[in-house]
Structure 1
């Protein structure tokens, strides 16, 4: 059986081996064998262009059989115009118990995809990635006589020293500055804000009310400090001009020796740097954000992408079967899947899958760390994911200094062992973000408030506006819709 698909592609052909495509690869061949299905891609674009193409197909009322959307309003529109299938029965009958258990590990994850009591989409799950770590060239630390960093002051001293002695750029930073509600990313400054107990872009409870972290008065102190770092050059003075690809190239070329990033950055971009120069040694460090030695971070939206099925498609259960095969059978049975295990070893991006989402337990990182450690220690453990075996094998090869796939072996060890070990401590503390939806006023005014916020933050950091302009921003934020939105958010929370 064939089905038409809007496929969200990855860069560089998702790093698949030569000859593989989004319609013919290890995943699609396995699904063809297991379920007798084959995707025909009506859309095949990387993320930004993908959603533009999907929006166009929605407006033209010409959508493929299966597609991913990332906007609750699109879901509402599709339901109101009777364009997508009710998935309630298919979910109950055609999803494995393990997949149901995974979704049950996220309280209320189905709230936004259930309309009038009917399930209209299958949500992606966003696992708990923990706080960003400080990734640093340990070989340079030793050369410069520096100690392992623990605090943000240590981070700044390392960047200063690297700039002077290694001629690097300052601390590379993405212009978004902090993470939004549904993702973790590289080159962000969340830890600086957390050190002042403030969380921009998040709705955080203070007393009996949810308040928007971006207008918290402690933000002003953080922006003032970041401005001083920018003036000195500790914060990269060209960060406004750089894209993520530009920053990655600086890292690969040895012009950057320190940055903030999640546990997974060994897979991208550090593995490429390691492939270029095997002698370099990047290492992660947990940075404290308070005097108790803790590292605090905000929780994220449990789901920001949704899989929907075209109204009238005869087999809506296809998405549950695909999800069950990939995220249950493949992950835990590991039978006749050498080709897919090879993908894991080669760090092929998950966007190679027909449905480019992830479905995993909320505490997936903890489970993976325990599994890989158990395999390395020769222990027998139930419910070990298939993906953990090739990762453990890569870690073994790294430890015995196997020259084959040397960079990939290092990436597996640095991410799955070194980085995840840092997140295992009880000193890592999650602060709850309490609202991820979109209120009535947000639909009309939120984009303008977000623009105002970003503009104010960047101008203060770069010195184009004084720190006192933050107070004017807060006043305008409340006057231009913020007060009404705050009221609506708190009403929604009470519901």
Structure 2
């Protein structure tokens, strides 16, 4: 016989059930909405801590982080944890070439961290081909701020097109701001001691370096002062602005090796095989024969070059505007009496300086295929390069980092994302405040931190710290040369990889380096350049040139 439940009991049961239905699902719904908001917006904060694994690119000297801080616990990671509730757990921490080795191991073992950087378009292509990384199209569209999108737009469509495969954005690119031409950095105290005037041309620079070697103003002893320190690469690749390269010497001869440029006939050609490169190699060969180019440059690493500069054995090198920070801040700390000064060298008959445009990106942020929160990559970029950079959040710690020259590799993602014209923008804003046209409070966080260092330097140049000297020399002295200069930017037209490059490019690059170095050091005669050009075209260069021309046009 079926038992009936009294109405009074049914009423209590109904109220209890209704209460549960209204309370628990409401809480669950609220949390679900928080997760949804965090996952689909630029600034949404996760309701619970999200820990992501990271392949971490590090820097020398622990990236100059304050004592006790690590790559998992510093101002950047603390800010990201507070703002977004995210925290990195580093599965490997490596710098330079060893980092690339760790990336290769992760790729070959199909054991990627949730986020990591890759340092070449070839690695990115391989990750896409192997289906190892996430499609970031929705993350890019929904979770990047408008300002970050504007920053990418300042480089043109190519920077995002370069990470787009079959209509899908597969990585978030770094940006390389326009650094302008490399400068000639010289020991001004040595020049004054010898009564030498400021250089304007390559020939002026050669005369100064020769005087440094022969007259020994550094009192190093006969034969111990070296000429220009030089990277064995000789010139930059794809527009990368780096130190100890001879790009200005090449430009003074109308040559732009390793760049796809427009030749005299209006065709896209590879600069390393054009006749002007032969003239430049002849110049470098002459400089080497006269000891103006370091006789042991083939054996030196970047660390060796820094040691020569820091120890006062070298008083000359080519480098970008930021060379005051590295290596010269260390050199000034070792010898406060050393006076280093940058000079802009004219490369053209009309007194202008020519240089080639840079590849807008070299590093790529990728996310492991299947990771639950691929949008985190965009959120990190928003936080560090929009909210901190332009909104000035978390001022005190970041301001201290900038002033103490903490290296950008301290960031979870060791990249920079800023407007292509960021260098010029920063210079003009600093000079406006230093001249009284604007107030310091008008500056964004980065510019304000540099202003304080520059102001401290100007207030007492005799007792300024190396950091204050470096800030003023890089951001004001060097940048004033670039801002006031008559320059000519030669457009590099192609940064991608053609089909034939995939199999032949490494062989051609190897051959190019061997011929170039052998010619400069006298192992081969200058006419060996013609032999190199012939071999280059015969071994895939002709096909690659046609492929590049078709891609550009």
Structure 1 residue 420 and structure 2 residue 510: aligned?
Answer: no
From 361, 377, 380, the equivalent of 1:303 is: 361
Secondary structure at 1:110's aligned position in 2?
helix
The 2-side partners of 1:237 and 1:364 are apart by 37
Q: Is the 8 A contact 2:388 2:394 kept in 1?
A: no
Q: Indicate the larger mover: 68-77 or 151-160.
A: 68-77
Change (3 A) 1:124 1:35: same
The residue number in structure 2 matching 1:475 is 534
The alpha carbon displacement at 1:48 in A equals 0.8
Identify which of 319, 322, 345 aligns with 1:261. 319
Alignment-derived partner of residue 203 in structure 2: 153
Report the equivalent of 1:132.
Answer: 182
Q: Tell me which residue corresponds to 1:486.
A: 545
Indicate whether 1:19 and 2:75 are aligned.
Answer: no
Unaligned runs of 5+ in 1: none
Counterpart pick for 1:222 among 280, 295, 313: 280
Tell me, yes or no, if the aligned pair for 2:226 and 2:313 is still in contact at 8 Å: yes
CA distance in 2, matches of 1:454, 1:75: 25
Question: How far off its partner does 1:319 sit?
Answer: 1.1
The residue correspondences of 1:351-362 to structure 2 (distance < 5 A) are 351-362=409-420
Q: Does structure 2 conserve the Cα–Cα contact (< 8 Å) formed by 1:224 and 1:461? A: yes
Cα deviation, residue 73, structure 1? 3.3
Could you tell me how far apart the structure 2 residues matched to 1:216 and 1:253 are? 39
Q: Which residue of 2 aligns with 1:327?
A: 385
1 or 2 for the larger relative contact order (CA 8 Å, sep ≥6)?
A: 1
Q: Work out whether 1:122 is the aligned partner of 2:180.
A: no
Q: Does 1:3 align with 2:52?
A: yes
Give the TM-score of the pair, scaled to structure 1: 0.97
* Post-superposition CA distance 1:81-101 (Å, at most 9, x none): 332211111111111111111
Q: How does 1:389-428 map to 2 (within 5 A)?
A: 389-401=448-460, 406-425=465-484, 427-428=486-487
Q: Distance in 2 between matches of 1:118 and 1:461?
A: 45
The answer to whether structure 1 residue 82 and structure 2 residue 131 are counterparts is yes
Note the 1:188-267 alignment, pairs <5 A.
Answer: 188-206=245-263, 207-267=265-325
Cα displacement (A) at 1:491: 1.1
- Contact in 1 for aligned 2:79/2:394 (Cα 8 Å): no
Deviation at 1:384, TM superposition (A): 3.8
How well do the aligned residues superpose, as a CA RMSD in angstroms?
1.5
Deviates further, 413-422 or 162-171: 162-171
Hey, what does 2:92 align to over in structure 1? 43
The more displaced of 134-143 and 404-413 is 404-413
Say whether the 8 Å CA contact 1:160–1:170 is kept in structure 2. Answer: yes
Q: Which runs of 5+ in 2 are unaligned?
A: 1-49
Does the 8 Å CA contact 1:182/1:304 hold for their aligned counterparts? no
Decide whether the 8 Å contact of 1:110 with 1:123 is kept in 2.
Answer: yes
1:126–1:182 CA contact under 8 A, matched in 2: no
Cα deviation, 1:202-248, whole Å, max 9, x if unaligned, reads 00012342100000112112111211211111111111111111111
Matches within 5 A, 1:330-349: 330-349=388-407
8 A Cα contact 2:58 2:95, kept in partner = yes
1:404: Cα distance to partner? 6.8
* Partner Cα distance (2:63, 2:463) in 1: 22
Cα 1:383–1:196, aligned 2, differ >3 Å: closer, same or farther?
farther
C-alpha distance in structure 1 between counterparts of 2:179 and 2:136, whole Å = 29
Partners of 1:29 and 1:375 in 2: CA distance: 31
Aligned-partner Cα distance in 1 for 2:106–2:493: 33
Deviation at 1:372, TM superposition (A): 1.2
Count of aligned pairs between the two proteins: 494
State the distance in 2 between where 1:228 and 1:208 align. 31
Aligned with 2:349 (options 283, 291, 296): 291
| Alpha-carbon distance in structure 2 between the residues aligned to 1:393 and 1:420 | 17
**Matched position secondary structure for 1:54:** helix
Distance 2:299 2:140 in 1: 46
Rounded to whole Å, the distance in 2 between the matches of 1:72 and 1:397 is 42
Q: What SS is found at the alignment partner of 2:91?
A: strand
- Tell me what 2:520 maps to: 461
The yes-or-no answer on 1:73 pairing with 2:122 is yes
Shift of the alpha carbon at 1:146? 0.4
SS in 2 for 1:424: helix
1:318 aligns with 2:376: yes
Partner residue of 1:272?
330
Q: How far off is 1:378 after superposition?
A: 3.4
Q: Distance in 1 between matches of 2:493 and 2:261?
A: 6
Residue by residue, what CA displacement relative to the aligned partner does 1:99-128 show, whole Å, maximum 9, x if unpaired? Answer: 111000011211121111111110111111
